[in-house]
Structure 1
Amino acid sequence: MTVHSDRLAALRATLAADGLDGFVVPLTDEHMSEYVGSYAQRLGWLTGFEGSAGSAVVLADKAAIFTDGRYTLQVRSQVDGADWSYEAVPESSPASWLKLHAPEGGRIGYDPWLHRRDWVRQASEALKARGASLVAVGDNPVDRVWRDRPAPSIAPLTVQPERFTGRSSADKRQQVAEWLDQNKADAAVLAALDSIAWTFNVRGTDVSHTPVALAYALVHADGTADLFVAGEKVTPELRQHLGNGVRLHERAAFEKALAGLEGKTVAVDPERSVAAIFEALDKAGATIVELRDPTVLPKACKNAAELAGHRAAQARDGAAITRFLKWVEETDDLDELKASGRLEAIRREDPAMRDLSFDSISGYGPNGAIVHYRSSEKTNRRFEPGSLYLIDSGGQYEDGTTDITRTVAIGEPTQEMRDRFTRVLQGHIAIDRAVFPKGTRGGQLDSFARRPLWEAGLDYAHGTGHGVGSFLAVHEGPQRIAPVGGAYAGGDEPLAAGMILSNEPGYYKAGEYGIRIENLVLVVPVEVEGAEKEMLGFETLTFAPIDRRLIVAEMLSAGERQWLDDYHAEVVRKIGPGLGAEERAWLEEQCAPL
C-alpha cells in the first residue's frame, strides 16, 4: 500500500470506531479561505492532491475526489485511481454523489467549522433519498489520524501603513458601523481573513503567499471591535496601532463570544462564514441577518493610495519579468524548476517584496496544458526546442499584489501553436478594449475572450478573470470575468470603478502544450461621445512583452495590431527606466511594432 492508501485506511478505521459510515473532507479552513495554512491541508495530506480547490468523500467501501476543469489532469497524476474515483465539478458534487452512493440509513460525518450552512442543508437534503443523515463532529477524524499535523502559525501580526492603505482602521470600522445602523444590526461577524486584514490594516504570514493572520472579528454598531487572535501574535506595535477601539481576545475565545450575543441582531455573511458560526448564534438566541460581509465591496474598489502602490509594484514586477524572459531566451539547458527559481530570485532582489503571490505555474510542453500545474522534482521537464513554456506567477509586495502569465516559444513553434496563441491574444485584446455600461456583470464580458477560440471549435476550462487584492489575496472577490454559475460562479457581480481583475484567456492541448496571456486590468470610467449611460472600461496595469514569434499577424484586425503596438510602446515607457542598457535594448527589440 502507498502512504496515502495507509492514511485512507486509518481514517476508515477511525470512522468505524466513531459509528460513522462516511466523512466529507473539504480543502478549506475555518474562514472559508481559498488558500489555507499547512495545518488545514487535510485533503492534500489524505489524498496527495496538491491543487488549491477540491473536496473528497470517504465511505467504508469507496471514496471520491471532486475537482473542477482546472485540475482534470493534475488530480489523475497525483491521486491513486485505485483508491479514489475522479469526479468533475460542477457535473458532480459531494452532495449529489452521496445521494447516489451513501449507504442506506448511513451516518455521514462533517466538520461544521469547515462547511457553509447552505452546503449542510443541501447535503442533508440529498442524503434523505438514502434514508441517511449528516452528522456534525466536534473532533475532526482526519486530525486524529494525522499524527504529525502542523500547528497553526503563531507568527506576529504586522501593521500595514496608512500610506499604502489610504484609510485608517478607525475610518473603516466607522463605515461598517454606519452599514450596521442602516441594516438595523448590532454587530457584524468578520470571518474571512482578508476582510479582517483589510479592516484592521494588519497583515500576517499564516497562509503561504497570502499575507493574512488567523483571526476572527466582531465589529459593533458604535465602531468598536473585538479581534480574536492568538496572544503570541500580538506585539506592542499592534496594540498601539489598534488603539482603545479594538478589544483583543484569544482566537479560541471566539465561539464563547458568539454565545454571549443573546438578544443581539448579528449580520453574518453566509458565503464567508462556516456553519458552526450560525449554529453558535442560533444556540445563543441571537437574531441572525444574512448579509454580505460589509468590507467586501470597499476592499474590492481600490482607493487612490492603493492604486498608486499597485502601479508602482507592477512597474517593478514588469521589469523583473522582462529580465527573466531575456534570461530564458539566452540560457541553454533549462528546466521548469530552474526557470521558476530564477524568476523568484529576480523578484526577491526588490526590497519591497514579501512573498510570491502563489506557487508559480512553470510548465513546459505537456505540463503547460495542466492549468494549475505545480512543478516538482518528479514532474520537472527539461526545455527542448519545438514547444511552448508557460509561466504564471506573481509577487506580494508591500505596496501591491501582482499576477502575470506569459507563454513563450522554445525553438520554432508550429503553425498550430501560433494560430492558437493568436486566438488567445485576440480574446485578451477583446477584454482589454471592452467598453460597457455601469452595472455590467463580468459574466456578460466572458464570451468576448472566448469568441476567437469558439470560432475554431475551441475553449478553455477556467474563468477569464478574477479579482486581485492590495497586498492581500491574489484571488479576491466578489468580481469575476467568468460564466455565471457552475464551477466559476461570481460572474454575476456588477463591475465597479476601482476593481482590479485579471484578463487571462488560454488554450490547452492535453499532452502537448498550454497557452495563457494574463495581465491585470483596472475598471475605470470611460467617456463615450453621445453616451446615454455611465460607461466603464479597463486600464491595463501589467506591462511585459508578449512573444511576437507566436503571433500570426495576418489573423489580427487593424485595431488589434494597433492595440499590440500601443501596448508594447507603453511597456517600453513603463519598464525601460527600471532596466540596464542591455536589458532595455532587448526589450525594445521585443516590443518593436508588429
Structure 2
Amino acid sequence: MSPVPLTILQEQPTQPVPPVCADAIDVNNPLGRLRSAMRNSAYTQMNAFFDAFVIFYTDEHLSEEPHKSERRLEYVSGWDGSGTGAVLADGGAAIWVPSGDVRRARATLTCAWLVIDGDDPSQPTIAEWISERLSRSGRVGGDARLTSMGEWQVLSTALQREGLQLVHIPTLVDQLWNEEPDPDRTRPDFPKTVAKNYEIEHAGLSWRDKVALVRSELHAMGADAMIVTALDEVAWLLNVRGRDLPFARLLKAFVYITLREVKVFVPPGKLSVHVRDALLYNCFGNNCTKVNEYTSIYSELRRLPDTKILIPAAGTFQRGASAAIAQSVPPAKRMFLLSPIIYLKAQKNEAEVKGMKKAHLWDAVAMCTLLSYLESKSALSEISVERTVDITRDTQAGYIGPAMKTRVAFGINAADPDYRATNASNKLITKNATLVIQSGGQYDEGTTIVTRTVHYGMPTREEKRVYTTVMRSLAAIAGLRIPSTLPAAHVDPVARAPLWAAKQDYPHLTGHGVGAALCRKEDPVVIDYRQDTNLHTLREGYFITAEPGWYETGKYGVRLGNVLEVVLRPNGYLGFQEATLLPYEPKLIDRSMLTEYEILWLNDYNDRIRKEVGPELKSRGLTDVLYWMMNKTVPIELPSKAKKLVSSSTEHSAKISVLLISFMLLYFV
C-alpha cells in the first residue's frame, strides 16, 4: 500500500484589518453623544429619529468670527478654524474646510473625521456625501438658524432629489453642550459685557437720523419694513458698540424697522442704562424704539402686519439672513434684497473719516514701537511675536482689542498665505529669512489692518526683488485715478501687474472694505479680478485694504498690506490715500527696480509718516522709536535721468500696467 502524499496547505494572504478609530466609537465624546441624541426623542423634540445631522459653523447672525460659546462645530469636531460645516451619519463623520486649512485640519482632527476641501469642485458636497450613506426616505437634521436661506434651500433641494428630507431641528447641539459632563469641554459663558453708546462725535449721525435714511431707502425699494440681522449693521444703525464677538465691537441683537417703529431684539441685561436712555428718550411717533427679548424674533416675524418685508440677501462677504429668519416671514411677504445699510455704512461721513485716521495714527505709534523693539531682540518665536503685537497695541490710548487673530509667519511658514502658528509649527525667528506680521486693532474711533514683512539679517538679491515687486503693487494702486462708475473688482489687474510681469500671482484677494470701529472686512466692495461679476463701485469715504503678496513654496513669503481711503480727485474721479502710516523695510527695497513715479510715491509716503507720526512719537517721549522711524524713512534720491526705467523687468511691468490702464480707462496721477 503506497503512502498517501501529504498536502501542504499554504496560508492565503489576508488584507490587513484597518485599525479601529477609538474616537469614532467613543460614546462619551461630543461626536458619540450627538450620534446617540439623533435617535433620542428627548433631544429631537419629536417622535422621530435622524439618520444624519449637519453642524454649521457660525451663529444666528452668520458672523465670520462667532464667539467661542457659539462655535458648535468646534465643540463637536475640535476644529477651531472656519468651515462650511460638518456632517455626522451612520457611515462616519466629515467636515468641509477651505482649501488653505485642509492640511492643518487633517493634522489637527482625530481619525474620526474625514476632512474635505470645500473649495475643490471635484470633492463631494455635503448633500452628495450624505446621499452616498443614507437610504431613500432618510431624515437629515440641521439648525436653520445657523445657515443662510440660499444655502439651506440648495442643501434641501439636493437631498430631496435623493429621497431625503432636511428638517430644522434647533438647539439640539446647544442642549448637548449645556449638559456636557467633561469640564474641559464645558460651554463657555456668553459675554456679560453690556453694550455702550457710540457717541455722536464719532458716529457723525444720531441713530434717529440713520433710521430716517434707512426708511427712505426702503420706500424707494418698495418695502414696508426690514429685518436687520448682520451685527455690524445693528451696531452702526443704533450707534452702539458691544463685546459679543472676539474681533469686532458688536452687540448680539436683531432690529426690525418699519415706517412706524423700531424694534430691538436683544438678550436680557445687554443694554446699559445709557443705551436704553438713548434709544427710548424723547420717544414719540415713528421715533419710538421697543426693546424685546432676543429669541422672540422668530414668533414676532410670523405675525407682523407689514405686507412687504425686506429680508437681507447674501452680499459680497455677508451671507444675508438665516434660513430660520427667512422662513419665519410668511412667503407672500418676503422680499430678498441687499440690505440698504451696506452702502450707508460703507461710505464714512466726516466724523467717521476723522476717527479712522486717528485710529491709524495710534496704530502707527504701536506698530513702530513694536517693530523697533523686535529688531533689538533675539530668541523670538512666531507665537511670542504674536503675543508681543497684541501687548504693544494694548498700551495705546483708545485701544479696545484686536481686529483679527494676529498672524506671524517666518521663513518657510511665510510661504503659506493661510498659515497660523501652532505649538507644533512654531518656528524660532533667525536672521536668514523673511518674517511676515499680519494684524489689526479696534480703537475707540476706528478699525485698522496692516501687514509688514521684515528681515533681521542680510536679505538675498532674490528676496529684495520679490519684496520690491510686492511694494510696487501698492504703489500702482495708490497712484490710480478711476471713474466713479468703475467696479472695484476691476482695479485688481493694475495692482497685480508688477507680479504678473514676473510670472507670479497670489491666491487671495487684493482688498476689501474696512468698517469704522466695526468689522475688519466689510461689504460691498472687493478687489479681486476673479470676482468680475461683482459690480459694486467705490465711493468717496470708503476705506479698503490693499494686500499683495508673493509666496515661494518651500522657501519664504512676502506680504504687505495697507488700508486706503477712497478720496475725490478733480473732474469727479476717485483716488486713494494711505490711512496706514508704517514704514517699509529699506534693506529689502531694490532701488534699481523703481521708476521715478514709484520713488516719488515712496518719498511722499515716508514724508507723511515723518510729519504725522513723528510728532506723536516725540510727544510721548518715545525717542528711540522716533530715531528708528526716521532711519526707515530716509528719502531716496531720484536718478539722474528722470522717467527712465532702469531694468528690463521694470520696463516690462510698466508696459503691462500701461496696457491695463488704457484698457480700463484708469489714469496715474
Q: If the length of structure 1 is used for normalisation, what is the TM-score?
A: 0.92
Do structure 1's residue 254 and structure 2's residue 297 form an aligned pair? yes
Structure 1 residue 47 displacement after superposition: 3.0
Partners of 2:23 and 2:251 lie apart in 1 by: 31
In the alignment, is the contact (CA less than 8 A) between 2:447 and 2:514 conserved in 1? yes
**2:413, 2:624 → 1: CA distance?**
32
| Secondary structure of the corresponding residue to residue 427 of structure 2 | coil
Secondary structure of 1:404's counterpart equals: strand
Preserved contact between residue 479 and residue 495 of structure 1 (Cα < 8 Å): yes
CA shift for structure 1 position 400: 0.6
1:273 equivalent in alignment to 2:296: no
Deviations 1:194-228 (A, max 9, x none): 10100000010111121001111101113x30101
Query: 2:476, 2:534 → 1: CA distance?
Result: 17
Partner of 1:225: 262
**Amino acid aligned to 1:493:** H
Partner of 2:151: 119
Match of 1:541 among 568, 574, 579: 579
Cα drift, residue 80 of structure 1: 4.1
Secondary structure at the aligned position of 1:302 is classed as coil
d(CA) in 2 for partners of 1:45, 1:196: 28
Structure 1 residue aligned with 2:162, among 101, 105, 130? 130
Unaligned segments of structure 1, at least 5 residues: 529-533
Counterpart among 448, 451, 460 of residue 414 in structure 1 = 460
Matched residues in 2 for 1:389 and 1:3: separation?
38
1:100 CA displacement: 6.6
1:191-590 to 2 correspondences below 5 Å:
191-222=229-260, 224-243=261-280, 244=283, 245-262=288-305, 264-271=307-314, 272-282=320-330, 287-485=333-531, 491-527=534-570, 534-579=572-617, 580-590=622-632
Q: Deviations over 1:343-390 (max 9, x none)?
A: 222211222111111111122223323434443444332112201111
Whether the 8 Å CA contact 1:188–1:219 is kept in 2: the answer is yes
Rg comparison, structure with higher value:
2
| C-alpha separation in 2, matches of 1:396 and 1:289 | 34
The answer on whether the counterparts of 2:52 and 2:139 sit within 8 Å (CA) in structure 1 is yes
Q: Secondary structure at the match of 1:363?
A: strand
Deviates more, 1:159-168 or 1:337-346: 337-346
Q: Which runs of 5+ in 2 are unaligned?
A: 1-20, 181-185, 315-319, 637-669
Name the CA distance, whole Å, in 2 between partners of 1:259 and 1:484.
40
1:548–1:590 CA contact under 8 A, matched in 2: yes
Determine the C-alpha separation between the residues in 1 that align with 2:256 and 2:371. 46
Matched residue, 1:152 = 190
SS of the aligned residue for 2:458 comes to: coil
Q: Cα gap change, 1:87/1:69 in structure 2, threshold over 3 Å: closer, same or farther?
A: closer
Structure 2 CA distance for aligned equivalents of residues 214 and 558 of structure 1: 51
1:311 deviates by 0.5
Residues 459 and 484 (structure 1), Cα distance of their counterparts in 2 relative to 1, 3 Å cut? closer
CA contact (8 A) 1:443 1:482 kept: yes
Indicate conservation of the 8 Å contact 2:99/2:117, yes or no.
Answer: no
Contact persistence 1:20–1:109 (CA under 8 A):
yes
For 1:236 and 1:331, how far apart are their aligned partners in 2?
Answer: 47
Query: Kindly tell me: are residues 434 and 43 of structure 1, through their superposed partners in 2, closer, same or farther at Cα, counting changes over 3 Å?
Result: farther
Partner Cα separation in structure 1 for residue 168 and residue 533 of structure 2: 29
Cα distance in 1 for partners of 2:238, 2:129 equals 41
For the residue of structure 1 that corresponds to 2:210, the secondary structure is helix
CA distance in 1, matches of 2:462, 2:160: 51
Contact 1:98-1:126 at 8 Å conserved across structures: no
1:541 deviates by 0.6
Separation in structure 1 between the aligned mates of residue 140 and residue 234 of structure 2, nearest angstrom:
33
Match of 1:37 in 2: 67
Aligned-partner Cα distance in 1 for 2:311–2:379: 54
**Could you tell me whether the CA contact under 8 Å between 2:415 and 2:555 is conserved in 1?**
yes
Counterparts of 1:182 and 1:34, CA distance in 2? 30
Letter in 1 for 2:263: D
Task: Report the residue type matching 1:313 in the other structure.
Answer: A
Change (3 A) 1:60 1:450: farther
- Which secondary structure does the structure 2 equivalent of 1:394 belong to? strand
1:122 Cα shift?
1.4
Higher alpha-carbon deviation: 68-77 or 211-220:
68-77
User: Post-superposition shift, 1:253?
Assistant: 1.6
Matched residues in 1 for 2:93 and 2:53: separation? 10
2:134 paired residue among 85, 92, 103: 103
Q: CA deviation at 1:426?
A: 2.0
Q: Which residue of 2 aligns with 1:9?
A: 32
Deviation for aligned residue 1:233: 1.3
Return the offset for 1:570.
Answer: 1.6
TM-aligned CA distance change 1:68 to 1:560, over 3 Å: farther
Report the residue type matching 2:37 in the other structure: T
TM-score with structure 2 setting the length: 0.82
Distance (Å, rounded) in 2 between the aligned partners of 1:366 and 1:55: 30
The aligned amino acid for 1:157 is A
Corresponding residue to 2:105 among 67, 75, 90: 75
Alignment equivalent of 2:215, drawn from 174, 177, 191:
177
1:527 and 1:535 in contact (8 A); partners too:
yes
Kept in 2, the 8 Å contact 1:265–1:288? The answer is yes
Match status 1:50 vs 2:98:
no
Amino acid at match of 1:253: S
The percentage of counterpart residues that share the same residue type is 28
Task: Provide the aligned C-alpha RMSD in A.
Answer: 2.4
SS of aligned partner of 2:522: coil
